[in-house]
Amino acid sequence: MSRRFITILVNLILTALFVPISWISYTEISKLVGLKPQPVEVVGTGSMYPSLYWDEESGGPEKSNSDGVLEYRSSPRMYSYFKGITLAGTTYLKSEIGIGDMVAFSSQKTREILEKEDKNPNLGFIKRVIGKSGDEIELRDGYVLRNGKVIEEPYISSPRSTYAGSNLAECTKITVPNNSYFVLGDNRKVSSDSRYELSFVKDEDIKYYLPLAKQGIYHSLWRNTDRDAELSGTPTLNASEFYQKLTNLKRNQKLEVSSRARGSALLKNESTSYKLESALRDVGYTNIVTGEFVMFGHYTADELWAALQSNFETKAQLSNPDYDHIGVSSVISDVSGCPTQVIVGHLGGYIPATYDSSMKESWEGARANLAEVIPSWEKAVGVTGVDQEKLNELLSLLKTKQTLVDEVLSVINKREWMSEDLEARLKQDKVNSDRISQLAKELSGE
């Protein structure tokens, strides 16, 4: 059926319905019934990258005002989704939406989401149709399965990058309801789509669409999918690439081992009692401050970095100057028959100790006192009438205390932390002090 014939038919139908059309141009009619594309404004969050542009202000690689971002990427030309004309119970000229089509839609749900993100709530979303009414959708090992088969997706930003969301758990099948669609963004790691609170998109909410067959202008931006299947069951993270993004943290092998052990424990039981402290103790890593981040899902180095930077807590964690070391590991395993990957990062760092002046003065006073007391007791060595056994014990305890005082003052002056060994010796010194007082009293009475 030719475009001209459809236009004539539309005019005849409108005339029959007594609708004045004399002022409607051919171009406007074509746009109205979905025969001629028109530019559709994009929010610019990067969810449809690489086909549509991803502004650097939203975490993407492109500048919206650069010459390199062509109009078809910032304002895609899409067709009006014409719902058709119904006569005598039969609908004519209704547009048909297919798998792989881009769709632009708006609803109360999109307005709520955009308002939360402080964006224009009237713009709506642009996503890609992955499932239609009756289709069964499943997300497994980073891939999308429709009706039990992995679908080929050359348009997505990176292969094997689709993970579960709040509305669709990993390895869980969900059926698309009547008059609805399951949609995903091409840039899966940053897209708010049917996996989350958006859920299914109703047919009535769709305003524009761009058939997959008419997306040839974007093909040069898409990927080659020939080797996508080879990634199945393998970790997606290249830790070395991730470490290169860190400027204030050094790679630590012990932390890599501890993070791997922690990841294995989490995959067996997310509520595992094997915590950060246990993992660090097992590998013999000690430091003043330690921390951990845990990410479930399939991430490349770039995607993991972007995800960590988009979260306030993990962003602050990675930029915290108190941390010096980091170890990151990705662990993948079947959990109840579902391939699951977790990425764990362990951090450690040193903060100089702070001691108040009164504490330092107290220990300096103790050192000065010992410097006077020890020589005075040493004069009694070999003196008749003085219990030399008790005197030797007293001098030994005093010199032990003197050594301890010197070590404590050294730690304080260097702003070091007291070791477990030093803490234990300080506790013993309290016992020794009582013995020193007892011996001094007994010797003085002789």
Rounded Cα–Cα distance for residues 47 and 57 (Å): 13
CATH number, domain containing residue 335: 3.40.33.10
Q: Are residues 45 and 109 in the same domain?
A: yes
Quote the percentage of the chain above a pLDDT of 70: 86
Shared domain for 192 and 121, answered yes or no, is yes
Domain boundary among 324, 349, 374: 349
Residue 62 has pLDDT above 70, yes or no: no
- 133-154 burial, b for 16+ CB within 10 Å, e for fewer? eebebbbbbbbbbbeeebeebb
pLDDT confidence of residue 104: 94
**112 domain-assigned:** yes
Residue 122 has pLDDT above 70, yes or no: yes
**Domain check: are 299 and 226 in the same one?**
no
Q: Which helix (H) or strand (E) holds 312?
A: helix 312-319
* pLDDT over 80 (residue 57): no
Instruction: Look at 62 and 191; give whichever has higher pLDDT.
Output: 191
Under the banding of pLDDT at 50, 70 and 90, the label for residue 28 is low
Q: What angle do CA 135, 140, 145 make, to 5 degrees?
A: 25
Identify whether residues 89 and 213 lie together within a single domain: yes
Residue 60 forms part of a structural domain = no
Highest mean pLDDT among 43-47, 59-63, 371-375, 413-417: 371-375
Rounded to an integer, the average pLDDT of 112-120 is 86
- State the DSSP H helix or E strand holding residue 174, giving kind and residue range, or none if neither: strand 174-175
Q: Residue 69 has what pLDDT? A: 45
State phi, psi for 135 to the nearest 5 degrees: -70, 145
pLDDT at 100: 97
Same domain, 261 and 150: no
d(CA 227, CA 438): 82
- Single out the residue in 231, 252, 271 at which a domain terminates: 231
- Of all residues in the chain, what percent carry a pLDDT higher than 90? 59
Tokens representing 228?
Answer: 């996508």
Distance CA 106, CA 120 (A): 12
Q: Are residues 366 and 405 part of one domain?
A: yes
What CATH number is attached to the domain comprising 139?
A: 2.10.109.10
What's phi and psi for 84, nearest 5 deg?
90, 175
Q: Which pLDDT belongs to residue 63?
A: 59
User: Residue 87's pLDDT is what?
Assistant: 75
Using the predicted structure, report yes or no on whether residue 222 has a pLDDT greater than 50.
yes
Q: What is the mean pLDDT of residues 294-300?
A: 86
pLDDT given for residue 445 in this prediction: 76
Over range 218-236, report the average pLDDT.
Answer: 91
Q: Is residue 116, in this structure, part of any structural domain at all?
A: yes
**Calpha distance 142→160 (Å, rounded):** 4
Task: Report yes or no on 63 lying in a domain.
Answer: no
Report the pLDDT value the prediction gives residue 41, as an integer from 0 to 100.
81
Is a pLDDT exceeding 60 seen at residue 135? Answer: yes
pLDDT at 26 over 50: no
Q: Is residue 163 part of a domain?
A: yes
Task: Name the pLDDT band for 64 (thresholds 50, 70, 90).
Answer: low
What is the mean pLDDT of the segment spanning 356-364? 93
225 with 244, same domain?
A: no
Same domain, 421 and 318: no
pLDDT at 299: 85
> Which residues span the domain enclosing 363?
357-444
Regarding whether 220 and 93 lie in a shared domain, the answer is yes
- Check whether residue 83 and residue 206 sit in a common domain: yes
Q: Residues 136-140: what's their mean pLDDT?
A: 96
| Together in a domain, 104 and 149 | yes
pLDDT over threshold 60, residue 15: no
Domain end among 191, 215, 231: 231
In a domain, 5, yes or no: no
Amino acid identity, residue 111? R
User: CB within 8 A of 42, min separation 6: which ones?
Assistant: 48, 52, 53, 74, 75, 76, 123, 126
pLDDT band for 17, please (50, 70, 90 cuts): very low
Q: Are residues 46 and 164 in the same domain?
A: yes
Model pTM above 0.75: no
According to the model, what pLDDT value does residue 4 have? Answer: 56
Q: Are 129 and 215 in contact (CB under 8 A)?
A: no
Interval 406-428: pLDDT, tens: 999 999 998 888 888 999 999 99
Calculate the CA dihedral of residues 432, 438, 443, 446 and round it to 10 degrees.
-170
Q: How confident is the model over 305-314, as a mean pLDDT?
A: 87
Q: What is the pLDDT of residue 121?
A: 86
pLDDT greater at residue 234 or residue 202: 202
Longest dimension (CA), the chain: 136
Q: What is the mean pLDDT of residues 333-349?
A: 92
- Whether the per-residue pLDDT at 23 is higher than 50: the answer is no
CB 129 within 8 A of CB 98: yes
Predicted pLDDT at 261:
98
Confidence of residue 148 (pLDDT cuts 50, 70, 90): very high
- Place 5 in a pLDDT band, splitting at 50, 70 and 90: low
Mean per-residue pLDDT over the chain, rounded? 87
10 belongs to a structural domain: no
Are the beta carbons of 127 and 188 closer than 8 angstroms?
no
Residue 353: half-sphere exposure toward Cβ, Cα within 13 Å:
19
* pLDDT value of residue 287: 92
What is the number of structural domains in the chain?
Answer: 3
Examine residue 61 and state whether it is found in any structural domain, yes or no.
no
Angle, vertex CA 170, rays to CA 272 and CA 212, nearest 5: 155
pLDDT at 337 over 50: yes
For residue range 376-398, what is the model confidence (pLDDT) as tens digits? 999 989 988 899 999 999 999 99
